[in-house]
Amino acid sequence: MCGIFGYFGPKKNATEIVIDGLKKLEYRGYDSWGVAYKTKDDIKIHRQIGKIGEAHLVVEDVEDIEESIAIGHSRWATHGGVTQANAHPHTTENREIVLAHNGIIENYLELKEVLVQKGHIFTSETDSEVLAHLIEEEMKNDNFLSATKKALHQVEGRYAALVISKKENKIIASRRGSPLIIGIGEDGERFIASDIPAFLKHTKKVQYLDDNELVVIDAQATTFYNLETDEKVEKRIIEIEWTEESAEKGDFKHFMLKEIMEQKETLYRAINQDAGLIEQVADAIKNAFGTYLIGCGTAGKVCMTAEYMFSSIAKKHVNTAFGSEFPNYHHFLTNKSLVIAVSQSGETADTLEALEIAKAKGAKIISIVNVETSTMARMSDIVIPIKAGPEKAVASTKATTSQLAILMLVAYAAADRLYEGKEILVSAAGQINDMLNPRYEEHIQQLAEKIQHAESMYIIGRASNYPMALESAIKLQEVSYIHAEGFAGGELKHGPIALISQGTPCIVLVGADETRKAILSNAMEIRARGGYIIGVSPQKEEVFDYWIRVPDCETASPIVNIIPVQILAYQLALLRKNDPDMPRNLAKSVTVK
């Protein structure tokens, strides 16, 4: 959820580098932030509520230091309210230890009780502060590195932590379930962050910290340890393909709009997969004794859509579960089961926990991810990269359609019709390229102006467009803050139709298939009760009050139908004075349970 950034190197403007890195991580979501930097004899800390904005700190006493060291953190509140005292980095009474921490320490109350009895004084409500005090307590009898290792052995839960000490020129970092990546720069520079875009302007060379590992960054080396065995670990340096430009807005006002428009290209990249890899996954599905698709939020809706695709295209049954609910299915897992995880970041805590359960049962794991060196990818037997490039807006757009395209390819491969599926998707990508033009945006903006004051909206669909109705609701909720709900068209008359009143906007997702007549009949039922019908359809229908045209793309209908809703959500956000890139209360990567 939160963002972490650290710098170790010869440059004396370490604090500026860290603040710039935190700005690059703003898309992860936060409500307060802070930085800490080392001087020759002390550690200075600055913490603040709100956005980083144009922050510039007056940095003192750094000209005579040997190495420049700073750490920073952008916090999304979990334990304790949004206050300056709860902002990171956290320290101890004598400021010996300073720490930035993501995740949740599940046993912090028990640890805190013991530490208070030993005389430690806490100044925040957070679970994170416990770890700083715990390290300080262990340092009474041990050095900084050993004390940090011993403290980490005592905490339960998921974490990513950066720690610095007043007495030593080094950064110690460790992770369990929350991402941390090291960037290798020039002249001994090292960066450490929650996500690659934070240091992409400085280096493309990275080393990945795995779960239950610790790294020591000092003037001599970058040394990795396995926390469970205390043995050193060798890490290779990987050069990533992302460019700094791909992680920036360019001429677009917001990342969300940029990423919507990038679907002209990202769909082609998703489709242009190694056919052998797609067929390998299809064969795994054919040979599995039970296949489970798992994801959270938008990725969960993608999985639900794929369930329909496998049924209609490949005549195969696959199971779908949200990552947070998957532990309830562990009774059915065996070493013949197949679990396919879908995620943009590859770091979603609930999905990772589900994969840990699957791995313990001996199940085969496949991941469909945008970050192919993520934790999820490294846990998997097979990885399909969606190749969407950095997605920084909290509301997922281009990653969603790329995930749908890949799962559709796999469904066709499972039916031994991969080439046919690729043809349909290439045609759909071409028509989406034509669709995404300024006139189309303007047409949807006019609709947004008509409905911007609505208190509630409803979206209906059938078959594979039903999960896209649920996903449409997520998009509208995330950035417009309008109460939105998605329903299966046939379920309206079983209760939800009671919510329809005069002028209530209702989006109808129409597929050019056997469900067309039924969903239009549902639209008639809504209109008869005063609803305002917005049709997303290849052709104009009499029941529509407002028509948004989409191309007829056969089985790729869910992919083309969600795009105009993405644009509508964005336009509504602007009209309602919301920030579409950083919605309130939300974070891009949900790395806590």
Taking the C-alpha atoms of residue 574 and residue 148, their distance in angstroms, rounded to an integer, is: 46
From 236-240, 385-389, 474-478, 588-592, the region with the lowest mean pLDDT: 588-592
Catalytic pick among 170, 392, 475, 588: 588
Q: Is the pLDDT of residue 332 over 90?
A: no
Instruction: Say how many CA atoms lie within 13 Å of 248 toward its Cβ.
Output: 9
Closest to 291 in 3D by CA, of 246, 329, 252: 329
Q: Is the backbone of residue 216 left (phi > 0), alpha (psi -120 to 50) or beta? A: beta
304 and 467 in contact (C-beta within 8 Å)?
A: yes
Distance linking the first and last C-alpha atoms of the chain: 10
Report whether pLDDT(151) > 90: yes
DSSP count for the chain of H helices, then E strands: 16, 25
- Using an 8 Å Cβ cutoff, are 348 and 588 in contact? no
Tell me the per-residue pLDDT of 550-580, one tens digit each, with 9 for 90 and over. 999 989 999 999 999 999 999 999 999 999 9
Instruction: Establish whether domains 250-436 and 437-579 are of one fold.
Output: yes
The pLDDT tens digits for 494-541 are 888 888 889 999 999 998 788 899 999 999 999 989 999 999 999 999
554 φ/ψ sector (left φ>0, alpha ψ -120 to 50, else beta):
left
A 10 A CB-CB count for 56 gives: 9
With bands split at pLDDT 50, 70 and 90, how would you rate the model's confidence at 102? confident
Q: How far is CA 390 from the centre of its chain?
A: 11
Q: Which of 379, 432, 378 has its CA nearest to residue 270?
A: 432
Token duo for residue 59:
């940095």
Gyration radius (Cα) of the chain, Å: 25
pLDDT score at 413: 96
The span from the CA of 465 to the CA of 154, in Å, is: 48
Architecture of domain 250-436: 3-Layer(aba) Sandwich (3.40)
- Cα–Cα distance measured from residue 134 to residue 136, given in angstroms and rounded to the nearest whole number: 5
Whether residue 558 has a cis bond before it, omega within 30° of 0: no
User: Domain limits of the chain?
Assistant: 3-245, 250-436, 437-579
Active site residue 588: yes
Question: CA nearest 85: which of 38, 56, 49?
Answer: 49
Closest by CA position to 375, among listed 213, 190, 171: 213
> What is the average per-residue pLDDT within 375-388?
92
- What strands, in cross-sheet order, belong to the sheet with 364-369? 319-322, 291-295, 338-343, 364-369, 382-385
From 2, 303, 506, 553, active-site residue: 2
Instruction: Give the Cα separation of 437 and 166 in Å (integer).
Output: 56
Question: Catalytic residue at 51?
Answer: no
Strands 291-295 and 319-322 come out as: parallel
Find out whether 1 and 53 touch, Cβ atoms under 8 Å.
Answer: no
pLDDT tens sequence across 47-58: 888 888 766 676
Residue with structure tokens 């970050």?
371
User: What's the CATH superfamily of 437-579?
Assistant: Glucose-6-phosphate isomerase like protein; domain 1 (3.40.50.10490)
> Would strands 205-208 and 181-184 be described as parallel, antiparallel, or unpaired?
antiparallel
383-398 mean pLDDT: 91
Identify the helix (H) or strand (E) that includes residue 172.
strand 168-176
Contact, 80 vs 108, CB < 8 A? no
Pairing of strands 213-217, 222-226: antiparallel
* CATH code assigned to 3-245: 3.60.20.10
Express each pLDDT in 443-465 by its tens digit. Answer: 999 999 999 999 999 999 999 99
Q: Is the pLDDT of residue 245 over 70?
A: no
pLDDT tens for each residue of 177-191: 788 999 999 989 999
How many whole angstroms separate alpha carbon 94 and alpha carbon 35? 18
| 590 has pLDDT over 70 | no
For residue 327, CA distances in Å to 115, 330, 353, 417 come to: 34, 5, 8, 34
| Confidence label for 247 from pLDDT (cuts 50, 70 and 90) | low
Cβ neighbours of residue 34 closer than 8 Å, sequence gap 6 or more? 45, 46, 47, 48, 72, 73, 75, 87, 88, 89, 100
Q: Are 563 and 6 in contact (CB under 8 A)?
A: no
